[in-house]
Amino acid sequence: MVKKRRSIPAGPVVKKPRRKRDLDKQIGSSLFDDFDKFEQFFLTHWKKFCFAAGAIVVLAAVWGIGSLIQHNANNKAVTALNSASSMEELVAAIDEFGDSKIANEARLRLVTMLESAGNYDDAIAQLDAVLDSDCPDEQRAQVAISRAYLMERAGKVSEAAAVFAEIAQDPNLPVQEYAAQAYYNAGRLYLSLGDNANAVKYLNQARAGFKFAEAQAGMQDPFWYAMAAKLLDQINSAPAAAATEK
């Protein structure tokens, strides 16, 4: 006799809560709406997207080409300015590449040649170009003092004396030594012009800058301070010598 299997009743069917089904449906509908909106937006504005992407590519290409051109121009300037050896070659290279970062080095080389040839006015013009550029403070001070020396050599002694005095009073001088040098030369030139009052004034200014160091044991006067002291001694001893002769 065949035994009948007992049927095992199926478990209860778990149904999602209605709220959960509604939430899932709402999320799906929202996502579909978002995709649909994006698709509609893209179809409406695809030309603008393409234009923007193309513009970015063009700008990147232009920047790359510009950088390459600038690099090649810099290399050309460096080669021309460094390879120029004669006065004529330097003048031509500076005229063409005067805005280069190394143009001032070429100008200073040209100044040496012009000074040797006695072309002081042209040399001063080149130094003026250096001073008009964005050069470091140290170089600016050296060039300004060199310019005053060239003015003296060109015979413009009174103008050179005034320029030296002006340089010495520049608050942007990088070191006190430049002020002492300028004060000394202003005093020296005024003395050569017979203006003893201004000579003593500026020579004393040159000496005054060294007062802080005189108290230090074993320290000797730096060159320009010592030179100023020597000239002051000459000026002070001159009346005594004149009185002795009488």
Per-residue pLDDT of 119-159, as tens digits, reads 999 999 999 999 999 899 999 999 999 999 999 999 999 99
In the chain, which residue ranges form alpha helices assigned H by DSSP? 18-83, 87-97, 103-116, 120-132, 137-153, 157-168, 176-192, 196-208, 211-214, 223-245
Contact predicate 145/178, CB 8 Å:
yes
Q: Tell me the per-residue pLDDT of 84-133, one tens digit each, with 9 for 90 and over.
A: 889 999 999 999 998 888 899 999 999 999 999 999 999 999 999 999 99
pLDDT at position 85 is 85
pLDDT at position 158 is 97
Tokens of 210: 């060294």
- pLDDT at residue 61 above 70? no
Query: Which amino acid appears at position 228 of this protein?
Result: A
Cα distance between residue 99 and residue 139, in whole Å: 17
- What angle do the packed helices 120-132 and 103-116 form, to 10 degrees? 160
Confidence of residue 211 (pLDDT cuts 50, 70, 90): low
Confidence of residue 201 (pLDDT cuts 50, 70, 90): very high
- pLDDT at residue 42 above 70? no
